[in-house]
Chain A
Amino acid sequence: MNQLTKSSFTWRNITETRLFFPVLALSLILLFDFIFIPGFFAIENRDGNLHGSMIDIFRNGSTVMLLAIGMTLVIATGGVDLSVGATMAIAASVAGILMNPSALKNEVFFVTDTNYTFQPLWVVIAAALIVSIICGLWNGVLVAYMRIQPMVATLILMISGRGIAQLITNGLRVQITYKPYAFIGQGWIILPFSLYIVAILLALTWVMTRKTAIGMFIESVGINFRSSFFSGINEKRIKLLVYTFCGFCAGIAGLVASSNVRTSDANNIGLTTELDAILAVVIGGTSMSGGRFSLLASMVGALVMQAITQSMYAIGVPAFALQAIKSVVVILVILLYSEQVRGFVRGISAPKTEV
């Protein structure tokens, strides 16, 4: 009874942690790459910046990683947010129109000067993020205060969001040529710039959930909201917070994605990425019915998703067949999580002396 907080690093402890299975899944995929794809792990130094397949996994995975941060919190409360892809498109449209408002006059005006922008960069970013926060708030109000089921509530914005994004740009695609904006998704400071964004957001979220009571309340609400209510936790405010925050994360992801493709394409930006984000969280081991969550595990989950895509491209699977192959691999990964496999691993790691 005196050694209540003692912990030790045995094999058993490692297999019991939340990170074990996501990392195992990622390792298996990378092992496959190591054997079958020569040069997959090669990293080359171009003008002091690092490039290579591994770096690409991180860079291309950054949108899903950003989404997964917000999605983890939403799923931990027992909800889900289907509208993040649409919110990305809205944020991209807002950013695009503020840099090149010619679309509003119903004319497509090609900017050739890469230093031209209609509004300064900070206004562009702030406006896009504020709009996406409003999108998140809308979801939060529907779920927490109107008591609409999360899937239905966020479906509304998922469907209408792309329409709203089109309205913002007057139905036209806005080309983004402003160079500083392009840096968000394409810049490189030794590592891709988007990775620093992910790292900062992850750190901030970790502090927000683990250095305040918010993380515990999110888990408590997700596991048993009646008990939480009786304990005096304001469950509605917690839900409002996580959906709003999820919108904010989607906004950042929208900026990264639009900067990457240099256009605010309302029809294609973030298309079906909400599903990738949900899968990333699930692969990270957070239960869809809510409860315990791990941000880091969700990040590994997002990397698993991206590593699958990257490996498929590398071994020459054509783009049109990618989704089908990907789904097969995802099924295999999810099978890793089954009780049978868990029991098997537990059997290996169980202390032999235990009666």
Chain B
Amino acid sequence: MSETDQNLLIMEGISKAFPGVQALDDVSLTLKRGEVLCLVGENGAGKSTLMKILTGVDKQDSGRIILDGKDIQAKSPQHAQSLGISTVYQEINLCPNLTVAENILLGQEPHKMGRIDWKKMNALAGETLQNLLGVDIDVTQSLGSYTVAIQQMVAIARALYIESAKMLILDEPTSSLDINETQQLFTVMRKLKDEGVGIIFITHFMGQIYEISDRITVLRNGKLVGTYDTSSITRVELISKMIGRSLAEFEEMTKIKLESSKHIKSDAVLQARDLGLTGSIRPFNLDLHAGEVVGLAGLLGSGRTETASILFGVEKPDTGAINFNGNLVQDYSPLGSIQRGVALCPEDRKAAGIVDDLTVRENIVLAIQANKGWFKYLSLPEQYGIAEKYIKLLNIATPSADQLVKNLSGGNQQKVILARWLATNPQVLILDEPTRGIDVGTKAEIQKLVLSLAEEGMACLFISSELEEVLRTSHRIVVLREREKVAEFVGEVDENTIIQAIAGSES
């Protein structure tokens, strides 16, 4: 086989911009026949956008896609499927109340005299599962009665039943599987590989990347970092490529940071002792001081968000306790936290941050008003006063305070949420991925803002999947791995030390 013949899929120079964000910038990717290619990168790196373009959900601004030597442009997921690109999504999107056979053959049932030929259908489904995946189950049972792993297999069987399936995209299929189930899936993937199917595998589990993949393509901030043979790159190298580091603006930030570190108070505002929740985060100790920015580093799924939500009282811990200004915390709820003076900018801006159909003004005053209760209503002039103060302070680009938040760009929405929390005048500010999906300029703005807030006496907990950002903004860095606090570094730390801590012993 010649070199060009080996390449099943070539994506060349793909670019895609969303309002306010360059999601993909000149990204290229190749997939060979019979290989597993891992696509890795932190949140917002552009993995899902790239896959959406491939499967016809979005259309690229520029660049071309070649499948099997032919230029293609999928117009819809259905079209992509007919071209031979099958996808299994993270959430299983099958019908649990239908039988396994119905799920596999939905929309392409065999017919006999105008009616569905059930016998043939069940036989076909059974064969597909048996031959392709080596799974032997009763296909006439409803899908919901099987484990998640089997359901995942059925989803794959459905994806592969399309007769022309040349390649398969698996988008984080293992996040809901246990170890045995994952192994079962890997066996199937190896079998498919031997049959010449190309597989793009998206995951954030390091162990799995090294176990199953042949090559790894790394994306960061919408740009291609590179493609590497799995055997030739170490874990530490891979992680540093994923989270990256650039020296731009670093000097200036270091100066501000050094200056602000003089203002750190010695007494802790918030003390967490043995705080933990089964299945969410192992017990940990953490002190937050006024005037200090503490960075939380770790890979996706390492327990960063869980730490934030337990400190804010979204979930009630089952071990340990929090002391706030010397008082033991009793009331674990967002409202209780706001009343104490703790604020959380949640990770998922769309789902847990903005209220998109309300105006900028209403979004900004929401938390302050919740704190005041139903009847101590802020008058409209007061509301405009608060809103306009923060619009100016944070430089929010909006035509007016009465603009609906959904009409703003991502960066400005994030600023509105920040404003909501700053308006409550918190002592502790927890920021979970405050710069995700935001353009570079606004990112730097927010980083500086965090430092200046600390300088004014706020205790900040800064969570980010970008290590450079954490390094740049934090006085102290806490490292999480596999839902456990594993290390804490004070002062200037070498990036590699932290990467070692993130990667763990196996490096």
| B366 lies within 8 A of chain A by Cβ | yes
Interchain CB contact under 8 A, B366 and A231: yes
Chain B nearest CB: distance from A240 CB in Å? 12
In the complex, the chain B residue whose C-beta lies closest to that of A233 is: B370
Interchain CB contact under 8 A, B374 and A213: yes
Docked CA distance A292–B353 (Å) = 18
Interchain CB contact under 8 A, B370 and A224: no
| A226 lies within 8 A of chain B by Cβ | yes
Number of interface residues of B (CB under 8 A): 38
Chain B nearest CB: distance from A291 CB in Å? 5
| A216 lies within 8 A of chain B by Cβ | yes
Q: Which of B125-133, B248-256, B283-291, B344-352 is the contact stretch? A: B344-352
| A228 lies within 8 A of chain B by Cβ | yes
**Chain A contacts with B in 214-228, Cβ cutoff 8 A:** 214, 216-217, 219-220, 223-224, 226-228
Interchain CB contact under 8 A, A227 and B355: yes
Interchain CB contact under 8 A, B352 and A232: no
| A355 lies within 8 A of chain B by Cβ | no
| A352 lies within 8 A of chain B by Cβ | no
Which of A213, A229, A232, A291 interacts with B377 by CB under 8 Å? A213
| B335 lies within 8 A of chain A by Cβ | yes
Interchain CB contact under 8 A, B356 and A223: yes
B-chain residues with CB within 8 Å of residue A217 when the two chains form the complex: 369-370, 374
B395-435 near A? 1/0 per residue, CB < 8 Å: 00000111000000000000000001000000000000000
Docked CA distance A231–B367 (Å) = 5
Interchain CB contact under 8 A, A227 and B357: no
| A353 lies within 8 A of chain B by Cβ | no
Interchain CB contact under 8 A, B338 and A232: yes
| A212 lies within 8 A of chain B by Cβ | yes
Docked CA distance A226–B357 (Å) = 14
**Chain A contacts with B in 1-18, Cβ cutoff 8 A:** 1, 3-6
Docked CA distance A228–B333 (Å) = 13
Chain A nearest CB: distance from B376 CB in Å? 8
**Chain A contacts with B in 181-225, Cβ cutoff 8 A:** 211-214, 216-217, 219-220, 223-224
B-chain residues with CB within 8 Å of residue A233 when the two chains form the complex: 335, 366, 370
Chain A nearest CB: distance from B494 CB in Å? 36
Given known A213-B374, A220-B358, contact A230–B353 (CB-CB < 8 A): yes
| B237 lies within 8 A of chain A by Cβ | no
| A106 lies within 8 A of chain B by Cβ | no
B-chain residues with CB within 8 Å of residue A227 when the two chains form the complex: 351-355
Docked CA distance A262–B292 (Å) = 73
Docked CA distance A291–B358 (Å) = 9
Which of A3, A213, A228 interacts with B355 by CB under 8 Å? A228
Docked CA distance A340–B149 (Å) = 46
A219-262 near B? 1/0 per residue, CB < 8 Å: 11001101111111110000000000000000000000000000
| B371 lies within 8 A of chain A by Cβ | yes
In the complex, the chain A residue whose C-beta lies closest to that of B346 is: A230
Given known A229-B334, A230-B334, A231-B334, contact A211–B377 (CB-CB < 8 A): yes
Docked CA distance A232–B313 (Å) = 10
| B314 lies within 8 A of chain A by Cβ | yes
Interchain CB contact under 8 A, A223 and B355: yes
Given known A5-B402, A212-B375, A226-B351, contact A231–B370 (CB-CB < 8 A): yes
B-chain residues with CB within 8 Å of residue A226 when the two chains form the complex: 351-352
Chain A nearest CB: distance from B459 CB in Å? 19
Interchain CB contact under 8 A, B401 and A231: no
B-chain residues with CB within 8 Å of residue A292 when the two chains form the complex: 357
Chain B nearest CB: distance from A299 CB in Å? 22
A-chain residues with CB within 8 Å of residue B373 when the two chains form the complex: 213
B361-372 near A? 1/0 per residue, CB < 8 Å: 010001101111
Residues of B within 8 A of A (CB): 314, 333-335, 337-339, 344, 346, 351-358, 362, 366-367, 369-378, 384, 388, 391-392, 400-402, 420
16 contacts between A and B (CB under 8 A): A3-B400, A4-B402, A5-B400, A212-B374, A213-B375, A216-B366, A217-B370, A219-B357, A223-B357, A228-B355, A230-B334, A230-B346, A231-B366, A231-B370, A232-B334, A233-B335
Q: A229-B352, A232-B333 are in contact. List 7 more A-B contacts (CB 8 A).
A: A4-B402, A213-B370, A220-B355, A224-B356, A226-B352, A232-B367, A234-B335
